[in-house]
Amino acid sequence: ADQSRTSLRGCRTRSSSMLPRAGKKPARDAGLRHVRSKEKRAHRELPGPSTVHAQAVSAGSRESGSALYVFSEYNRYLFNCGEGTQRLMQEHKLKAARLDNIFLTRMSWETVGGLSGMILTLKDTGVPECVLSGPPQLEKYLNAIKVFSGPLEDIKLSVRPYTDSVYKDDTMTVTQVPIFGKCVLFFLGSRWRVQMSNDHPLILLWTLKGCCRDSRFVAQKIGTTRDPSLVVAYVCKLHPKKGNFLVQKAKELGLPVGTAAIGPIIAALKDGKSVTYEGKEIQPEEVCTPTDPGPVFLVIDCPSVQFIQPLCSNEVLQRYQSGEDGATLVVHMTPESVLKTEEYQCWIERFPSSTEHMIMNEQACCIHNVRSQKIQTQLNLIHTDIFPQLQHYKSTESQAALHVPNVRAECLLKFQLRPKAEWQRDAIPPCDEEEFVKEAAEVPNFLQEVEKFKQFQMTDSVALSGKVDRYPEVVFLGTGSALPMKIRNVSGTLVNISSSQSLLMDCGEGTFGQMCRHYGNHVDEMLTKLSTVFISHIHADHHTGLVNLLLQRERALNSLGKAFTPVYLVAPTQIMTWLNQYHDHCQEILSHVNFIPAKCLCEGAEMPKFKTKSFIQAVLKRNDLTKFQTCLVRHCKNAFACSLTHQSGWRIVFSGDTMPCDALVHMGKNATLLIHEATLEDGMEEEAMDKRHSTTSQAIDIGMKMNAEFIMLNHFSQRYAKIPLFSDDFNQRVGISFDHMRVSNFPDH
């Protein structure tokens, strides 16, 4: 056995108590000041904005995708909203309170994966209205997310399709430019796939009938509105800004500075008109700086070579490659394979030499989630195996050699468009692990307590010598509730059953990103081992990472040359309503799952249909389980817990979200490990009952009634910034989970 790993008893509360506690954060009251100021601006003519910058939220890495935040004193905008965007904005204080326009370049999970969470955040922040621009399928997407978000009555959501090409507000004019890619049918794994369509879905069907004999595939397309051929580029032109009035120059020319008479004179001069004062004609250029006509920036998404020719030949975009409207900045959300092509390089070289280019793709090597990196580095001082150092996925593809002024995006890199066009790196968050270690070491008695714990752990390891094994290994990918935050992501727990078998329990937004940060360049290998996903219920924080996980798993299988196999998905039947709608209107996804209704695994359930029964048998066989059981718990309707019993005798029970539940106690009797939600602290029983969650002591009590060998608490309210408040019921059989924590070495049975 690998004795460097630590038993569950080595991760008890002793280690977590070494970290300083953080107090509760007050609820954020956004107010409606922005709304009122916007209404006031509507009744008067405004000068062009004085301060505008474009800032990378996520720089294009595989774990975070590409998202661009644009700021002016009047408005805030977001271009694309992949998974984790809301978490990054929260961590780096990019406020969402004024974010009323989100521009999407295409209908793909890469660009919309974080949209449902962002919309819920905007609603909770008090934003009254948000407009989504881009592919027309966004309307269907908004309808689909209501399956799990519920009615979005407190925020008005609308879609501005690309056919409504021009949008204008206080800051700029935005033109949507549709780019239609070429149709390519290709073979991936063991399946035919359409990568692009070029025309209406009916024409696509006709094309497929001529080149693909699989009638089931053709039939699947009927009634869908998916259109992966469409990408929308954005041309953004800032409104002109009148020149500044030079007071000293005006005084020298004898103008009545400081008197009531100067007002009309300034207005006329700033409008470009000459004035005559006391018989002397004054030209605007004598007392005003030149008018800024308004710089232009472009946002370009060219996801594959099928879009290069249509993009490069687009006449609308060609206007901004020369002349007075030559682009100041072009943001390329473009993979390296496209950047390397001669045609694309020729296209970007046609822009003026003064044009700057920001590149956002998987070559980005910066650390986005700095706070998570910091706490993991500090926890690693306590135990290197339970709290491993984080990894980062690094693309192995070489960078394109570009012959234009370009900068590779980093998290929070800014390009200032006004007042002066320039790159600004001051906001890029530093990530100095030596400083993190130094900061922890300065906590009174920290190093002494760490040393005591290590001595204790060595004694514990000797006591367990010869009685433990590496597997199963439980990796906590997300241990927070409701929304992803800087320290804790939302629910996701990976069970590595053996070196070749893995199962995932819940899959909140950003779960794949957490896997990237945990496994680095081994993430593809880990994804190929994953055969089964259990979703406890359809609240957004428990399943909105699923689509990305499925897509990334297919990519991993293809990359490693392995045959494609669907994931066995055990979940409430309602999840299929969401997946069906997303599949029909957004992106092909249904072939990725073999669905098992969670109710079919409940004790006393009706005999499932033959197909479902065969799936259940396959799950047991693939994971070496003798039993996979579920039970209804006390949360929302159709919320489930699960129990996994292995051939070797260990049993893991996962509560999902629930109030104290007798059915869970019955199902989990004598569990080896109970993972139970503890959303709220003791003393908040009334709120816990209202929200149908558990307090710390309630969760521990369930574990004691169950006679679980060890109780791991998770799913903490995000009000507890680092660690939850302890109760008097904590003992040697209780631990608290952290993101990226892993436990193993279960006692033999």
Q: How far apart are CA 137 and CA 446, in angstroms?
A: 54
Q: What are phi and psi of 734, to 5 degrees?
A: -125, 135
Q: What's residue 367's pLDDT?
A: 96
Q: What's 582's DSSP letter?
A: H
Q: What's residue 456's pLDDT?
A: 83
Q: What's residue 460's pLDDT?
A: 66
CA proximity to 68, closest of 56, 59, 77: 56
* Helix and strand totals (H; E) in the chain: 27, 32
Assess contact for 648 and 630: CB atoms under 8 A: no
Q: What's residue 38's pLDDT?
A: 63
Amino acid making up residue 430: P
CA proximity to 590, closest of 603, 578, 574, 608: 578
Superfamily of domain 48-180+230-239+293-424 in CATH is Ribonuclease Z/Hydroxyacylglutathione hydrolase-like (3.60.15.10)
Beta bridge partners of 226: none
Q: What's residue 193's pLDDT?
A: 52
> CA torsion sign, 309 to 139 to 109 to 208?
negative
Helix ranges (DSSP H) in 489-596: 511-519, 523-529, 540-543, 546-559, 575-585
**CATH of segment(s) 471-740:** 3.60.15.10
Question: What are the tens digits of pLDDT across the range 10-58?
Answer: 444 444 444 444 444 433 444 455 555 666 555 456 688 999 999 999 9
Q: What's residue 639's pLDDT?
A: 99
Q: What's residue 164's pLDDT?
A: 92
Q: What is the pTM of this model?
A: 0.89
Q: How far apart are CA 571 and CA 597, in angstroms?
A: 6
Q: What are phi and psi of 483, to 5 degrees?
A: -135, 150
Q: What's residue 227's pLDDT?
A: 85
Crossing angle for the helix pair 446-463 and 433-441, to the nearest 10 degrees: 100
The DSSP line for 610-663 is HHHHHHHHHHHHHTTEEEEEEEE-SSSTT-EEEEEEETTS-EEEE--S-SS-HH
Q: What's residue 314's pLDDT?
A: 98
Q: What's residue 726's pLDDT?
A: 76
Assess contact for 340 and 400: CB atoms under 8 A: yes
The DSSP line for 66-82 is EEEEEEESS-EEEE---
Low-confidence ranges of the chain (pLDDT < 50): 1-7, 9-31, 43, 185-190, 192, 195-222, 749
Q: Which residue has the tokens 């196999």?
A: 565
